[in-house]
Structure 1
């Protein structure tokens, strides 16, 4: 596999120190890219196939799934392309830049870690939020540090809302008893209904 963790190399008879020295040499020689601690990607042109940044995002931080801007763009709910993978995780929040991309991870509570599925992205499978959950995650994380406004909602420039499932949206809202999220969620639902008319 082009993307691997150094622990996978324990099947070989060489010592762990030897393996780490060899990995460092391959990185210096441009044959490997170190994604983050322990994770490596075979560099082009040595890798047998392209590995999507989305696959890298799913793999090197677990548990996580793609959400927020990247998922909204993937589902066509916003007009902008999101070049950098945005994910949510129950692990700590972190960002790191590697392989030409900024990988962004936002923390959510385990109770909210749902509403995603395996989806084909090119020829590879990724874990990605449903459209409704991607927007819900965006709203939830925004409200942790800001006050909600319709202006913020308009600035998202939501589109292609014909198949947006408001029943799912309401189900996600029921996950929390926080009044701020429930009020904002209700406004979002009204906004989507208006946009469809």
Structure 2
């Protein structure tokens, strides 16, 4: 199978085996033949496997990898019903500054991690009541959902273990987790509090109290 076929996918964010078959326009081409071609293209470095059955051409990757929305777009391709949140959003907004994190997202589907040539993409499952607090944008025709800063902080703390020792008077949550919350606006605080109320989580109520005692004092 001629690799010139790949040039037809160079302008697309991703393609599938079915897309290759449709491009050939030959119903008699066996799935095994297409799979063999895909395997050879991967070995030759001409394509990148994002997940099982989903690929990106090396040319598309090289042309778009430096764009700020590239990783968010890949995250949305891997699990369309997800929104970027947690460490990824907090780091992009300067709230987490000391480490490099994988691309992190939240979904109604099962918790899982994808590792491919482009990096690590981690997804956490959340209940339907809390599947909110994100905004949509688009890159290369792919809808991308990203949490607000307040929701990203809520998700980050919601999924972290909460030890009873942290309830002690004088405990500084932001200092302990090295969270830079100096620029967290009053509106962000109100939004964060609304998610705590929706969650009906005793743990999140305790966390909110801890934040009010230290960084969100009136």
Query: Same fold judged by TM-score > 0.5?
Result: yes
- Equivalent-residue separation in structure 1 for 2:16 and 2:172 (angstroms): 44
- Aligned-pair CA distance for 1:185: 2.3
- Aligned-pair CA distance for 1:142: 0.8
1:78 and 1:159 in contact (8 A); partners too = no
- Aligned-pair CA distance for 1:108: 1.0
- Aligned-pair CA distance for 1:70: 0.6
Counterparts of 1:42-53 in structure 2, within 5 Å, are: 42-43=57-58, 45=59, 47=61, 49-51=63-65, 52-53=70-71
1:38: which partner in 2? 53
Counterpart pick for 1:24 among 34, 39, 62? 39
1:97: which partner in 2? 115
1:166 and 1:189 in contact (8 A); partners too = no
Change (3 A) 1:47 1:193: closer
1:174: which partner in 2? 197
2:50 and 2:116 in contact (8 A); partners too = yes
Gaps of at least 5 residues in structure 2 are: 1-11
- Aligned-pair CA distance for 1:120: 7.2
Counterpart pick for 2:130 among 84, 88, 112? 112
What's the TM-score once normalised by structure 2's chain length? 0.74
- Equivalent-residue separation in structure 1 for 2:128 and 2:18 (angstroms): 27
Change (3 A) 1:92 1:46: closer
Aligned residues: 190
- Within the alignment, does 1:85 sit opposite 2:95 as a pair? no
- Aligned-pair CA distance for 1:163: 2.4
- Equivalent-residue separation in structure 2 for 1:171 and 1:102 (angstroms): 31
Runs of 4+ in 1 over 6 A off after TM superposition: none
Look up the SS of the partner of 2:63 in the other structure.
Answer: coil
2:183: which partner in 1? 161
Indicate the RMSD between aligned Cα atoms, in angstroms. 2.7
2:3: which partner in 1? none
Gaps of at least 5 residues in structure 1 are: none
Counterpart pick for 1:4 among 15, 21, 45? 15
Bigger-Rg structure (1/2):
2
1:62 and 1:91 in contact (8 A); partners too = no
2:88 and 2:101 in contact (8 A); partners too = yes
1:88 and 1:107 in contact (8 A); partners too = yes
- Equivalent-residue separation in structure 2 for 1:97 and 1:21 (angstroms): 22
2:84 and 2:145 in contact (8 A); partners too = yes
